[in-house]
With several copies, the nearest count.
Chain A
Amino acid sequence: MDKRLSTLAEAVSRIPDGATVMIGGFGGSGAPVELIHALIDHGARGLTVVNNNAGNGHVGLAALIEQGRVDKLICSFPRSADPQVFTEAYLAGKIQLELVPQGTLAERIRAGGAGIPAFYTPTGFGTDLAEGKPVEEFDGRSYVRERWLKADFALIKAELADSHGNLTYRMAARNFNPLMAMAAETTIVQATRIVELGGIDPEQVVTPGIFVSHVVEVADAAQEEMLNRAEAVYP
């Protein structure tokens, strides 16, 4: 019952070609950059990636796309300060895009984690993004039916972790991370610090260990924003 692994390489080693991988973060905050880089090194291809964005610069998710590993991206906002990598791949027809409203994306992932196969939302009703989806009226208002979203793997960035996988997050780096941790068959976490069991107050656990498969300490985790300001490129 010790979920700690010593290397990122080991943590991502079982991600096969064609896997669906959720990657936490909103822009650079909460993005598990080192795990993504380990996934690049690992070499899996043909991935479907779920992330709010489409990467920035030439590190993290952008690098994964640049290396040609992503067949499909499910996201809400594939634009950013420097989304050149995704934009080029998309306009060249090399990557599919499923565009999902941000709140619907969050709720679909939460539903995947919570065993709710479908739910109704007012979001998107009457728009192109609801095309083909069932519509139902409740109490005189129209709603779109959306399906859960699950993944084979989730790559998560946490602040504190213990050996059972209990997690906390730093500030707004929380974002999609706790949701994706729930919605994947295998949830792999990079934590800035692994503390002893009991080192996280039980009331302050944000992601209980039941949602976590593996934990790796990455003490000096990079901020994607800082990498991009330094014009870093991976690999």
Chain B
Amino acid sequence: MSDIQDIKLSNAQIAWRAAQDIEDGAYVNLGIGFPEMVARFQPEGRQAIFHTENGVLDFGKAPEKGEEDWDCINAGKKAITIKPGTAFFHHADSFAMVRGGHLDVAILGAYEVAQSGDLANWSTGKGGVPAVGGAMDLVHGAKRVAVLTDHVTKTGGPKLVEACTLPLTGVGCVTRVYTSLAVVDIEDGHFVLREKIPAISLDELQAVTGARLHLDGAVGELIAPEELA
């Protein structure tokens, strides 16, 4: 097997793949950091509406440097802009949208995802200052909760596991994982492999996955635009 570092998808490519599953008109919340990249890759002809926890729906792109209005920020405290259709609201209304099942998709990062759909993404359990933000609300609110993640940890350990060892963000909440090597669904307590990059074999993929990958029909080829590599 080739070194995973050489064949794996870039974060941008993972985000691109996740973006392909977002339907036209979907209401979407993207987690702070890496998941935010998904917004860049909306397929032609589709328009997603983005929600940010601090009370903005349908915001515009980042302003030019020096043009920031710091009353107009996203959950990551980065400056955003308004555009036709933007709405502001308070935090209780914002999380009514989240908790009330009004978001179509929430896309988050992960430390670990278990085959049960359990997610751990808020605490490394190592002390320091804990911080949770809106992650625990998002994972039990959106109609579909997806995770973007490298397939393995920096030290090569599995992030898709039988059971999470880190503090949980939510129980049984994730239904799809987009990794640097594969697209994996979570169904009935199992990982079901949907797509993998051509450069890795099934056995190799299983070897870097911490729980059994089930098959359900053909495994698609996960091919992302090369220019995003």
Residues of chain B with a CB closer than 8 A to A223's CB? 70-71
**Cα–Cα distance between A114 and B83 once the two chains are bound (Å):** 26
Size of interface on A: residues with Cβ below 8 Å to B: 76
Assess the B77–A123 pair: CB atoms within 8 A.
Answer: no
Assess the A123–B88 pair: CB atoms within 8 A.
Answer: no
**Nearest opposing residue in chain A for B53, CB measure:** A102
Assess the B92–A179 pair: CB atoms within 8 A.
Answer: yes
B149 at the interface (CB under 8 A from A): no
A174 at the interface (CB under 8 A from B): yes
Assess the A29–B70 pair: CB atoms within 8 A.
Answer: yes
Assess the A115–B99 pair: CB atoms within 8 A.
Answer: yes
B30 shortest CB reach to chain A, Å: 15
Within residues 1 to 52 of chain B, which ones have a CB less than 8 A from any CB in chain A?
Answer: 24-25, 27, 47, 49, 51
B170 at the interface (CB under 8 A from A): yes
B86 at the interface (CB under 8 A from A): yes
A96 shortest CB reach to chain B, Å: 12
Assess the B137–A177 pair: CB atoms within 8 A.
Answer: no
Within residues 166 to 181 of chain B, which ones have a CB less than 8 A from any CB in chain A?
Answer: 167-171
Within residues 167 to 181 of chain A, which ones have a CB less than 8 A from any CB in chain B?
Answer: 169-179
A233 shortest CB reach to chain B, Å: 19
B69 at the interface (CB under 8 A from A): yes
Residue of A52, A80, A101 with highest tally of chain B CB at under 10 A: A101
Q: Which of A79, A122, A203 meets B129, CB within 8 Å?
A: A79
Stretch of A13-21, A42-50, A64-72, A82-90 that contacts chain B? A82-90
Stretch of B54-62, B202-210, B216-224 that contacts chain A? B54-62
A118 at the interface (CB under 8 A from B): no
Assess the A209–B85 pair: CB atoms within 8 A.
Answer: yes
28 A-B pairs with CB atoms under 8 Å apart are A26-B77, A29-B70, A77-B131, A77-B132, A102-B91, A103-B99, A113-B96, A113-B102, A114-B95, A126-B118, A127-B169, A127-B170, A171-B56, A171-B69, A172-B73, A174-B90, A176-B90, A176-B91, A182-B100, A198-B84, A202-B82, A208-B89, A209-B49, A209-B87, A210-B27, A210-B57, A223-B71, A224-B70
